[in-house]
Structure 1
């Protein structure tokens, strides 16, 4: 019998194995007129399409993927922003596009710039690294014990899914 609900938690199967992309880093989302920030630069026309952005007084940010493993071989993946040093933004910009083999060596050390429920991860230190030339870097490790656990633990659906 085919069902559209998960046998583990009863939620729609569509709530599993999904990708959620944050439009902006949290500090910018909270501004009423973020589009008017002095020195605002984005890699693409909109923040949703962009993989890099920078704003005077707020910092430099690069996209990364933060996978959260759920029981039953499901993965909830967040497209997050990582706050990085401006020099790292320049390094990422130099290797991101085209068939540049140096992209595979890209490693970013920064701080998570989005809130991820149910954890309080905003500002947590994080390392992102490229796994594949066709993908955005992944969050791979953290010195923060909560974020480290988020990255390595397999979570019950009831603790993560809304």
Structure 2
């Protein structure tokens, strides 16, 4: 009984593992909904497995970079989406050049959310990225979109976990 309590959130009763976790989108929504997805001719992924890729270029759709979108929960917990961000082709080239170099720590990008984020229904809204930890993909740090900026800056009640994947 004590063991179970140790791994249960005192605020909401859910397992603490449901709070501090990452949910990674396999592909950007526009790619997921395209006929050949990431296998279209002349596509490029930084890893053959889209679950491991951090950069991709899909002809006639967009270049993308993977980023972390943090959602702060009450009580100091954080839920993170591993999202895809549509970026400008020049930004993809720059990201490729610095990804495994010391300059990666200074990488800042702008783009558009390429995965639908529920329960807020956010999609294709502008977002600013920055590297906060050189061992992680860039983080979504701000947005001129008020709703996305709220997701990034507010602390959310634990009941929101019920609607997350």
- Shorter-chain TM range is over 0.9
Task: For residue 32 of structure 1, report the CA deviation from its aligned partner.
Answer: 4.2
- Please say if 1:65 is aligned against 2:96: no
The aligned runs of 1:50-129 (5 Å cut-off) are 50-97=53-100, 100-129=101-130
Q: How many pairs align?
A: 160
1:29 pairs with one of 27, 32, 45: 32
2:20 pairs with one of 17, 20, 39: 17
Q: CA RMSD in A?
A: 1.3
Q: TM-score, normalised by structure 1?
A: 0.93
| Whole-angstrom distance in 2 between the partners of 1:132 and 1:13 | 23
**Is the 2:19–2:161 Cα contact (8 Å) retained in structure 1?**
no
Runs of 4+ residues deviating >2 angstroms: 159-162
| Whole-angstrom distance in 2 between the partners of 1:19 and 1:161 | 15
Question: Per-residue CA shift, 1:75-107, capped at 9, x if unaligned?
Answer: 00111100000100000000001xx22111111
- Please say if 1:148 is aligned against 2:149: yes
**Is the 2:112–2:126 Cα contact (8 Å) retained in structure 1?**
yes
12-21 or 88-97, which moves further after superposition?
A: 12-21
| Whole-angstrom distance in 2 between the partners of 1:96 and 1:35 | 21
| Whole-angstrom distance in 2 between the partners of 1:109 and 1:35 | 22
Task: For residue 136 of structure 1, report the CA deviation from its aligned partner.
Answer: 1.0
| Whole-angstrom distance in 2 between the partners of 1:57 and 1:22 | 21
Q: TM-score, normalised by structure 2?
A: 0.92
Structure 2: tracts of 5 or more residues without a match = none
| Whole-angstrom distance in 2 between the partners of 1:7 and 1:32 | 46
